[in-house]
Amino acid sequence: MIINSQLVYYILIAIILIIIILFWFIWSDLIGAGFEPTSTRRVKRMLEMAKLKGEDVVYDLGSGDGRIVIMAACKYKVRAVGIEADPIRLAWSRLRAFLIRCPGRASFIWGNFFREDINQATVVTIFLSAKANQKLKYKLLTELEPGTRVVSYYWRIKGWRTIKEDRENHLYLYIIGQTHHQFYGDRDKF
Ligand SMILES: C[S@@+](CC[C@H](N)C(=O)[O-])C[C@H]1O[C@@H](n2cnc3c(N)ncnc32)[C@H](O)[C@@H]1O
């Protein structure tokens, strides 16, 4: 049987596209957490729990489509920064922030939040995974000032005491300096 070379070509292109799309879905899971947006109701609750004030700086680690950053900048008029590894979601977030034009300042960093400096944050929001939260502990303790609020959706930070919980919405508030055992800077103790 003679195989139509054009057909082979199309099948090859389709296979490559499927691999790229699969990789796109799996990749963010591998570096922290896959994409799943927090519902608007929960984003509101997260920011309420953090008790945002005008001078706060919010960092959303793994900012997805930018919804937390945009709501913080629009509703609370604060500076909000999203760090997102996925360039497509990042571009979409930037476009949304540009079109909405919030009174606060919404900005986005394309990168891996494990490698980005977050020491300017006074509020950190996360919706990641149990594993990523565990991996983040050392970074949160070494880069954030005492008093910084960390609000996690769905996943607790294992071993840390919550300052407030919204069990209905699976939201957990932690405060650096109040929420964990004395930190002696020893990475292995975490
Ligand atoms: C569960 S989604 C949460 C999105 C958003 N924060 C929300 O609550 O709607 C997790 C996001 O984190 C991103 N992400 C995962 N690991 C990351 C990493 N190491 N650095 C930057 N972004 C990461 C994923 O691409 C995904 O968009």
- Tens digit of each residue's pLDDT (9 = 90 or more) over 24-67: 878 888 888 889 999 999 999 999 999 999 999 999 999 999 99
Question: Which of 16-20, 28-32, 84-88, 126-130 is least confident?
Answer: 28-32
Q: Residue 22 — very low, low, confident or very high, per pLDDT cuts 50/70/90?
A: confident
- Report the distance separating Cα 110 and Cα 84, nearest Å: 5
Q: What percent of the chain has pLDDT over 90?
A: 77
Work out which ligand 1 atom sits closest to the CA atom of 62.
12
Q: Residue 179 — very low, low, confident or very high, per pLDDT cuts 50/70/90?
A: confident
pLDDT of 89 above 90 = yes
C-beta 47 within 6 A of ligand 1: no
Q: What is the pLDDT of residue 21?
A: 86
Q: How far is CA 155 from the centre of its chain?
A: 12
Residue whose CA lies nearest to ligand 1 atom number 23: 62
C-beta 109 within 6 A of ligand 1: no
Residue whose CA lies nearest to ligand 1 atom number 2: 35
C-beta 58 within 6 A of ligand 1: no
The pick from 47, 61, 94, 131 for probing ligand 1's pocket by mutation, whose C-beta has the most ligand atoms within 8 angstroms, reads 61
C-beta 59 within 6 A of ligand 1: no
C-beta 33 within 6 A of ligand 1: yes
Unique residue bearing structure tokens 């996925």: 86
Q: What is the pLDDT of residue 189?
A: 55
pLDDT of 12 above 70 = yes
pLDDT of 187 above 60 = no
Q: Residues 149, 80, 47, 136: what is their CA dihedral angle, to the nearest 10 degrees? A: -40
User: Which is more confidently placed, 90 or 184?
Assistant: 90
User: Which is more confidently placed, 171 or 32?
Assistant: 171
Note the helical H segments in the chain: 5-31, 40-49, 67-75, 87-100, 130-143
pLDDT of 1 above 60 = no
Q: What is the pLDDT of residue 184?
A: 58
- Report the distance separating Cα 140 and Cα 157, nearest Å: 11
**Residue-averaged pLDDT of the chain:** 92
Q: CB 189: neighbour CB atoms within 10 A? A: 10
pLDDT of 166 above 90 = yes
Q: Residue 115 — very low, low, confident or very high, per pLDDT cuts 50/70/90?
A: very high
Q: How far is CA 95 from the centre of its chain?
A: 18
**Cα(89) to centroid(ligand 1), Å:** 9
